[in-house]
């Protein structure tokens, strides 16, 4: 399966926001978001749109340090004055800033790398996951293109296995130990399989069909939502084989997003 390109990621920021916009049209913006229980729907939307606006500022200014992000973390639950069209504007602005910069433009990023390509990929999938949050809030079905879902899971594993994550989240070191391997197997996408290896000094992963201490078989979209802890491993259509405690331990320690 081919990895999405920089241009694909820019396009997905807009596409996922458009799908989100369609999902929330006519919805009650005060409904709670079950996957982000501290927020109602309008708080979720303000967080995402504000995050896109913040990232566009980083990219446009080639920031060498992170701008203030409090304005999209301290969020009003009152939907008064909120316009869903604002989401589309922020997505378009971020995609335009990224395309103008190009993938190799240097800037601050929260992990090693320091280029616009990070923000393109991160916000493509940040937008996807918060679209999933909104669909859960309004009770709508979620559908994700196979190539986008595969890239989302790849990115999640890449970020989660960075050695610097041990500095951000020291408890992740507790995951490492002999015999600790996890297999993720998409039941509806041939070749979409991953092996997470916790047996060494760092977390590693690879695309592979291999025996592991615990295996999860589920539709591809559900696998993405499982690792983001939006879908429980007890959901219909999800099967777990082997060491369930290891799976739960891993999901608890590597959660982000």
User: In the chain, where are the structural domains located?
Assistant: 6-143, 165-253
CATH 1.20.120.450 describes domain 6-143: yes
- pTM, to two decimals: 0.95
CATH class of 165-253: alpha beta
Query: What are the angstrom distances between the C-alpha of 169 and each of 154, 161, 164, 173?
Result: 20, 12, 9, 8
- Is pLDDT at 254 greater than 90 in this prediction? no
Summarize pLDDT for 131-148 with one digit per residue, the tens: 999 999 999 999 999 999
- Predicted confidence at residue 1, as pLDDT, reads 61
For the chain, percent of residues with pLDDT exceeding 90 = 91
């Amino acid at each position: 399966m081919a990895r999405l390109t920089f241009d694909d990621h820019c396009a997905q920021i807009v596409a996922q926001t458009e799908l989100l916009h369609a999902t929330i049209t006519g919805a009650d913006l005060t409904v709670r978001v079950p996957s982000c229980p501290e927020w109602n729907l309008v708080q979720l939307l303000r967080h995402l749109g504000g995050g896109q606006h913040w990232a566009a500022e980083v990219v446009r200014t080639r920031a060498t340090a992170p701008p203030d992000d409090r304005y999209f973390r301290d969020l009003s639950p009152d939907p008064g004055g909120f316009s869903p069209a604002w989401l589309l504007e922020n997505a378009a602005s971020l995609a335009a800033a990224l395309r103008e910069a190009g993938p190799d433009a240097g800037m601050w990023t929260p992990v090693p790398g320091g280029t616009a390509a990070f923000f393109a990929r991160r916000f493509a999938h940040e937008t996807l996951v918060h679209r999933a949050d909104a669909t859960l809030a309004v009770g709508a079905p979620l559908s994700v293109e196979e190539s986008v879902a595969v890239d989302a899971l790849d990115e999640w594993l890449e970020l989660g296995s960075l050695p610097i994550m041990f500095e951000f989240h020291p408890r992740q070191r507790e995951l490492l130990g002999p015999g600790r391997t996890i297999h993720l197997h998409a039941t509806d996408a041939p070749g979409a399989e991953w092996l997470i290896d916790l047996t060494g000094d760092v977390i590693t992963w690879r695309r592979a069909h291999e025996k592991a201490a615990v295996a999860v078989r589920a539709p591809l979209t559900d696998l993405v939502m499982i690792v983001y802890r939006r879908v429980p491993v007890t959901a219909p259509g999800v099967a777990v084989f082997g060491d369930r405690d290891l799976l739960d331990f891993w999901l608890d320690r590597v959660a982000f997003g």
